[in-house]
Amino acid sequence: MKHTISVLVENKFGVLARIAGLFSARGYNIASLAVSETLDPQISYMTIVVDAEDEKVLEQIKKQLNKLIDVITVTDFTKKEHLERELILVKVEYSAKDKARLEHSLNKFVGKIIQRQADTAIIEAVGDKEQIKELLETLKGFGIKELVRTGRIAIAK
């Protein structure tokens, strides 16, 4: 089961390595990771998405995260009411005749074309896991040339 875990940490060098180490030492892959400063520049906020093969192991990882000296709080959103979003940038194949069709496809989503060139367009979109998945399916029809994602971020309701 996929877990979304947020970790509030001291904004210092080495913290990310300490956190990543707890996952990698147990053979757990981090599916996505978003890190940024909070309003207080001394504190950073990390959102980690991890696929837990064994819930007991994940429980141990969370406890170990809490034990790290530089970690302030650990929250597992999985069983909490929360909102998740991810931002993606997609470069798709494009020609002027596709314009209407592409814009129509994007209507359903929080997305827009942010740049057009002769044969490509760059689309920016925001959504939750399902919306992003659906949008990518739709865009496959146009031919995706490049895709970058921020990784998921989450906030409690």
- Number of residues in contact with other proteins under rule CB under 8 A: 19
Site for other proteins in 34-73 (CB under 8 A): 59-60, 63-64, 66-72
Residue numbers 66-125 binding other proteins by CB under 8 A: 66-72
Choice between 79 and 97, CB closer to other proteins: 79
x-marked contacts with other proteins along 6-25 as a string, rule CB under 8 A:
---xx--xx--xx--x---x
How far apart are CB 31 and other proteins at their closest, in Å? 22
Report in angstroms how near the CB of residue 102 gets to other proteins at its nearest: 46
Nearest to 149 by CA among 1, 128, 95, 141: 128
Tell me the closest approach of the beta carbon of residue 2 to other proteins, in angstroms: 23
